[in-house]
Amino acid sequence: MSRPNSRPVAVIAALEQEAHVLVNRMPRAESVGPRLSVWESGGLVVMVAGVGKVAAAMAAQYACDVLKPRCVIAIGLAGGVEDGVRAGQVIVASGAAQHDVDARPLTDKKGVIPGLGLSIIAADRAVAEKLLRAAGFESKDARSGLVVTGDQLVTSRSVREALLRDFPDAACIDMETAAVGQVAHLNGLPWSALRVISDSADETFDLRGVVGFGVTTAAGLFEKIIQSVVDEL
């Protein structure tokens, strides 16, 4: 699948709804990893891995082992960190943390990964800056920030506020980014993420509306941003 003279950019999404515009004109790859849907064209490989940290980590390691990419980017929807957020803000990951990791007393605080001694996995600065510049042309609300990740779909204001007490610098909440970041970090691979805010991570969450927004709006943003910057990454 990988080319001898060209290392692709690897993009990982949880849901095909998030990636459908990006892969619309891309052919399916001839070989696929376990439980992965893969498309490849023009120096870009897109993988739909499924929801959650294990699925994201599996896809990221598969990319490292098989595709040998020059960088990896996680894309997808995310919950906001305050009431009444306007759907559509683009967050480019400056780093990511796992809000549901708590290994105390092996570690000194919540979120620290045993063995790494880190709670925040920093994104590659050059990759993040290029993504942010491209995102700025597509969204006035684009900014960089910390993505907090856990195997939990947050639909409660009280849960959201509890997460923010532990991670006050969080820009959004998702279920995959930090897993991709940890695998990339351990493999020495540059990484970042594009997340589009779809909801307020509270009781106003509406699954049909969120998925519909992903299909009609967020997927187009991902395609425009990635395609405009893929050759620079």
Query: What pLDDT was estimated at residue 187?
Result: 98
Could you say which residues of the chain have pLDDT below 50? 1-5
Write down the pLDDT at residue 184: 98
Which residue type occupies 225?
I
| Largest distance between two CA atoms of the chain | 51
Q: How many residues does the chain have?
A: 233
Under CATH, which architecture does the 9-232 domain have? 3-Layer(aba) Sandwich (3.40)
CA atoms of 107 and 117, how far apart (whole Å): 8
d(CA 62, CA 186): 13
pLDDT of residue 78: 98
**The pLDDT value given to residue 31:** 67
**pLDDT number for residue 3:** 42
pLDDT score of 139: 87
pLDDT per residue as tens digits for the range 191-226 = 999 999 999 999 999 999 999 999 999 999 999 999
Output phi, psi for 90, to 5 deg: -95, 125
Determine the Cα–Cα distance for residues 54 and 165; give it in Å rounded to an integer: 25
